[in-house]
Structure 1
Amino acid sequence: MSQTIAKLYPLANRIIIKKAENAVCSRGGIVLPENTKTRLLRGIVVAVGPGQVNSEGERMPLSIKVGEDVILPDYGGTKLEIGEQKNLYIYRESDILAKIVE
């Protein structure tokens, strides 16, 4: 995957996210039926842009870094299909709801 992402560089305040896979088993090992799976609302940041330029011409760095776990909105983002990578999305930094810190 790193070779694909190395060719893709987001601009301004854009972030590339790989959405997490739906869980097929609960933590206790119970297999979940198809109808209980929900939308993918979580992902891992794989690339970030340099940041938006403000009115004074200064670049504002992003608060999200590569490798962080984030919570995503129900809708939004632009889906990317590059090579074998089919679960990549581009979001603006302001669209990200929260980052998960464990």
Structure 2
Amino acid sequence: MSAVKRLIPSLNRVLVEKIIPPSKTSAGILLPEKTAKLNSGKVVAVGPGARDRDGKVIPVNVKEGDTVLLPEYGGMEIKLGEKEFHLFRDEDILGTLHD
């Protein structure tokens, strides 16, 4: 986790760790890939935001710890230590998921 703390995204970028859905239930039943189609992740770090024409900072819409819905394609894959993360622009994130 220390490698993640060193990476602070630039501008309006968001660092996300994708959530891998379980491949089987607690009873040991294997789940088909189609049931695990939701592409979501947990926000690990956010940039300070982009600037508009007047130089004012436009803050990022998500915060660290949020669970977000991600597009099927896009983002930049980054490997920090043993973990893989994805870097997205704020406007590429489709929404925030709540329990």
Taking structure 1 as the reference length, the TM-score comes to 0.86
Query: Following TM superposition, where does structure 1 have runs of at least 4 consecutive aligned residues deviating by more than 3 angstroms?
Result: 26-29, 35-40
Code of the residue aligned with 1:25 in structure 2: it is: K
Q: Which residues of 2 match residues 49-88 of structure 1 at below 5 A?
A: 49-86=47-84, 88=85
8 Å contact 2:13–2:89 — kept in the other structure? yes
8 Å contact 1:22–1:37 — kept in the other structure? no
What is the rounded CA distance, in whole Å, between the counterparts of 1:101 and 1:21 in structure 2? 17
What is the rounded CA distance, in whole Å, between the counterparts of 1:67 and 1:21 in structure 2? 16
Structure 2: gaps spanning 5 or more residues: none
Q: Percent identity?
A: 35
Higher alpha-carbon deviation: 40-49 or 89-98: 40-49
Show the counterpart of 1:18: 17
What is the rounded CA distance, in whole Å, between the counterparts of 2:28 and 2:42 in structure 1? 24
CA apart distance, 1:31 = 1.7
Deviations 1:7-43 (A, max 9, x none): 111000000000001321247752224x546556100
Deviations 1:41-87 (A, max 9, x none): 1000000000000101011111100000000001000000121112x
Structure 1: gaps spanning 5 or more residues: none
Show the counterpart of 2:6: 7
What is the rounded CA distance, in whole Å, between the counterparts of 1:37 and 1:9 in structure 2? 34
What secondary structure sits across from 1:17 in the alignment?
strand
Say how many residue pairs are matched: 99
Taking structure 2 as the reference length, the TM-score comes to 0.88
